[in-house]
Amino acid sequence: MTVSVTPLVILLTVSLLFLGVAAYVGRLSSQHGRRVRQIPIRIHVNGTRGKSTVTRLIAAGFRESGYRTIAKTTGSASRLILPDASEVELQRAGAPSISEQLEIIEFAGRNGADVLVIECMAVIPELQAVSQHSIVHGTCSVVTNARLDHQDVMGETVEEIAWSLGAVAPRGGVLVTAEQDAALVDTLAARAATVGARVVQADLSEAPTAEEFGRAEWPDNLALALRVCALHGIDRETALRGMRKAPLDPGALFSTPLPVDGCRARFVNAFAANDYTSTEQIIRQVQQANPGGLFLLVNARADRPRRTQDMAALLSNGFDPCAAFLIGDGASLLERLVRRQKPGLPVVNLAGHPREVALERIAPHLGQDACLVGIGNIGGPAEEWCAWLATGRDG
């Protein structure tokens, strides 16, 4: 028997399915809205560099002031930071997705958080806006800075990148930044104005010295975190007391002696400073402080060809390192680029070598008081290097 399905029946069926899906999505949206409203203060942290550290510092300031605070970092190693400051490493079954922020918000609401400090996961500008206006609904947002990075999706100029990052500005709220470039601050202000938000700029003079704080920390990060805390009524001393207790992010800048017998060389972890400008600043500081010779350990990722090109340009312009040692699955591309752009620079490709073997190959090149700086990317073998060396770090 043949059953005839008329166009009207098809239309009705599709309409009912659509209405069913719409109703389901509506219920999910309503549930999420209730969960968001359970958390009175929601701070959404975006920017090119320093997001994870700033997230930790802000959360520590609130925690010290008595707020029940939950924080989540995304950068070098995704961590959930609980109200007692203990941490849980987040394991993902697949690729990172901003949808995991929904689970964090549900967890924070269910656990009675007064404050959620959450690092933005999105890179694509449209998804940054979705993250703010459909998921996090930040009551206060942060843009740490705007640097040349992710140009393939965020824009070819630093102004375009600042505009992209400003997508997290909260409707009618405040966007706080440590950016000091007037043109970029104006760009952020213009983007914030599209949703009725205003920009508050951190004052770098408010940052404590390394001696006052008790360890080396980027002044921009401290000033920014202090300004966010101050905007919420937390005094400077209380905020700093909490921030001093905050554990360092796995990708944080640190310096430590290299564990090689008879070698007085040091290792500086700058792997997480993966944009050109930040890496350049760190290398220049290290050069000035370490006259014994500059060596670079560059981690190149095959899935970040644009960043590999940036690192090649960095090695080829303005620096005169004694040698560059390459690791990571993108090392072959980086080696070709560097040999073409700066043929006189000694380059050693150590991709695929175990860490101990790589260090044995590196150590004979290092003179006394030399410095080996890790740059490029934190993902892949750099994570192992950092975890191994971090146990002996001294600031």
267: three-class secondary structure by DSSP? strand
**Starting at the edge strand that comes first in sequence, how are the strands of the sheet with 115-119 ordered?**
87-89, 79-81, 69-73, 115-119, 41-46, 140-143, 174-177, 198-201
> What is the percent of the chain with per-residue pLDDT over 70, rounded to a whole number?
86
CB 323, CB 348: distance < 8 Å:
yes
Instruction: Give residue 252's identity as a one-letter amino acid code.
Output: A
Bridge partners of residue 154, in order along the sequence: none
**Residue tagged 């700029």 (tokens):** 201
**Residue tagged 């090649």 (tokens):** 312
Residue 253's pLDDT is what? 73
Instruction: Give residue 256's identity as a one-letter amino acid code.
Output: T
Cβ atoms < 10 Å from Cβ of 169? 29
Q: Tell me how far apart the alpha carbons of residues 293 and 155 are, in angstroms, rounded to a whole number.
A: 36
Token pair of 337, please?
A: 């680029």
The contacts of residue 116 (CB under 8 Å, 6+ apart) are 39, 41, 42, 43, 69, 70, 71, 72, 104, 105, 108, 136
For residue 62, pLDDT over 80 is answered with yes
Cβ atoms < 10 Å from Cβ of 29? 11
For residue 14, pLDDT over 80 is answered with no
Residue 235's pLDDT is what? 97
For residue 389, pLDDT over 80 is answered with no
Residue 1's pLDDT is what? 45
- Which of 56-60, 134-138, 164-168, 293-297 is predicted with the least confidence, judged by mean pLDDT? 293-297
In the DSSP assignment, the letter for residue 95 is: S
Which parts of 202-345 fold into alpha helices (H)? 210-213, 219-231, 236-245, 276-289, 305-316, 331-341
- Which of 127-136, 307-316, 362-371 is predicted with the least confidence, judged by mean pLDDT? 362-371
Token pair of 260, please?
A: 């090689």
Mean pLDDT of 169-177: 97
24 or 148, higher pLDDT: 148
Q: What is the pLDDT of residues 80-105, one digit of tens each?
A: 999 999 999 887 666 667 888 999 99
Tell me the average pLDDT of the chain.
Answer: 85
Could you write out the DSSP letters of every residue in 224-262? HHHHHHHHTT--HHHHHHHHHHSPPPTTS-EEEE---TT
Q: Tell me how far apart the alpha carbons of residues 52 and 31 are, in angstroms, rounded to a whole number.
A: 28
Q: What is the pLDDT of residues 37-53, one digit of tens each?
A: 899 999 999 999 889 99
pLDDT confidence band for 22 (50 / 70 / 90): very low
CB 80, CB 179: distance < 8 Å:
no
Residue 13's pLDDT is what? 52
371 or 180, higher pLDDT: 180
Closest alpha carbon to 187 in 216, 209, 155, 212: 155
For residue 180, pLDDT over 90 is answered with yes
For residue 272, pLDDT over 80 is answered with no
- Which of 76-85, 86-95, 202-211, 227-236 is predicted with the least confidence, judged by mean pLDDT? 86-95
pLDDT confidence band for 242 (50 / 70 / 90): very high
Residue 300's pLDDT is what? 92
Q: What is the pLDDT of residues 293-335, one digit of tens each?
A: 888 999 999 988 888 888 888 888 867 788 999 999 999 999 9
Domains and CATH numbers, the chain: 36-245 (3.40.1190.10), 254-390 (3.90.190.20)
> What is the percent of the chain with per-residue pLDDT over 90, rounded to a whole number?
48
In the DSSP assignment, the letter for residue 166 is: G
Residue 100's pLDDT is what? 87
Q: Tell me how far apart the alpha carbons of residues 189 and 197 are, in angstroms, rounded to a whole number.
A: 8
Q: What is the pLDDT of residues 181-204, one digit of tens each?
A: 999 999 999 999 999 999 999 999
Residue 293's pLDDT is what? 82
Distance between terminal CA atoms of the chain?
Answer: 81
Instruction: Give residue 292's identity as a one-letter amino acid code.
Output: G
For residue 224, pLDDT over 50 is answered with yes
